[in-house]
Amino acid sequence: MSRLAIFDCDGTLVDGQAAVCETMERAFAAVGAPAPDRRSIRRTVGLSLPFAVRQLTNDSSDFDSGRIVEAYKELFRETRMSGALHEPLYEGMADLLGRLDRNGWLLGVATGKSDRGLHACLETHGIKHLFVTLHGADRYPSKPHPAMLEAALAEAGVGAGNAVMIGDTSFDMEMARAAGVRAVGVAWGYHDIEELMNSGASAVAQDMGELEAMIDGGH
C-alpha cells in the first residue's frame, strides 16, 4: 500500500523568508506603492502570488496589484539568475527526505511558489529526484483550496487516507482538511503552533525527529 507525504516548500522545506520579504518590498517600490510591513508579508507566504498581493494591498484600487505581481516575478527571477537567491534547506531536512524515501514513502510538494521557482529550488538542493509529484501555484487556485492536493493524490495514485500534508501555515492545514488528508504542522515556519492546531493540524513538530515520528505515526 503506497503512502504519500506532501510538503509545503517555503517555511517547511526551505527558509526563504528574507528573499520573499525583500522581493515583495522591491516589487511594491517598483510601482510606487508603500511596502507592507514584514510581518504582513510573512503572513501571506504560502498563498499564490496574486492572492497574496491582493491581501497586502487590501484590494485597494489605488495600486495595480497585477503590476506588483509582475514586478515580483521579474525581480525574483533576476535574483535567482544572478546567484544571489538564498533559500537554504532547514537543517536535517535532506536527511529526513532521504529516510522517508528509503522507507517506502512517496514524496510530493504542494506550494504557493511558481512551478519554475519550485523546480529551481529543488534542483539547487539536489533533492528534486526524490519527489514523484510537484504542484506549484501556477496551475491551481490558491491555498487553502484543495486542488493541488487532489492533483498530487491522483498523480501518485494514493488515497487521501494514506497521505499526509506537512506545512507551516494555516493555509496548509486548511487545504489538507478540505482534501480529507491528515495534516502535520512544523513550528519553524510562518504561523504559530496554536494557529496551526486551530486550523486542523493533528500535531505540530518542533524538530525533524518529531516530524519523522508524526509522519510515520499516522500510518
Q: Which of 10, 15, 168, 172 is catalytic?
A: 10
The domain containing residue 110 runs over which residues? 3-15+88-217
Question: What is the C-alpha to C-alpha distance for residues 166 and 187, in angstroms, rounded to an integer?
Answer: 11
> Looking at residue 215, what is its pLDDT?
97
pLDDT in tens, 30-84: 999 898 999 899 888 888 899 899 889 886 656 688 999 999 999 999 998 898 8
Sequence-ordered list of residues with C-beta below 8 angstroms from that of 180, at least 6 positions apart, any chain: 160, 161
> Looking at residue 60, what is its pLDDT?
61
pLDDT in tens, 114-165: 999 999 999 999 999 999 999 999 999 999 999 999 999 999 999 999 999 9
Instruction: Please tell me whether residues 212 and 193 are part of one structural domain.
Output: yes
- Would the pLDDT of 86 be above 70? yes
Q: Give the domain CATH number at 101.
A: 3.40.50.1000
Instruction: Please tell me whether residues 110 and 193 are part of one structural domain.
Output: yes
> Looking at residue 1, what is its pLDDT?
77
> Looking at residue 218, what is its pLDDT?
64
Given a contact cutoff of 8 angstroms between Cβ atoms, the answer to whether 6 and 163 are in contact is yes
Provide the 3-class DSSP secondary structure of residue 135: strand
Q: Pull the grid cell for residue 24.
A: 515583495
Q: Pull the grid cell for residue 184.
A: 502535520
Sequence-ordered list of residues with C-beta below 8 angstroms from that of 213, at least 6 positions apart, any chain: none
User: Which of 217, 175, 216 has the alpha carbon at shortest distance from 196?
Assistant: 175
Instruction: Please tell me whether residues 45 and 127 are part of one structural domain.
Output: no
Q: Which of 8, 15, 168, 172 is catalytic?
A: 8
> Looking at residue 62, what is its pLDDT?
61
Q: Give the domain CATH number at 69.
A: 1.10.150.240
Q: At which of 82, 115, 135 does a domain end?
A: 82
Q: In the annotation, is 64 catalytic?
A: no
> Which helix (H) or strand (E) covers residue 152, if one does?
helix 147-156
Question: Per the confidence metrics, is the pTM higher than 0.85?
Answer: yes
Question: What is the C-alpha to C-alpha distance for residues 61 and 59, in angstroms, rounded to an integer?
Answer: 6
- Structural domain count of the chain: 2
- pLDDT exceeding 70 applies to what percent of the chain? 97
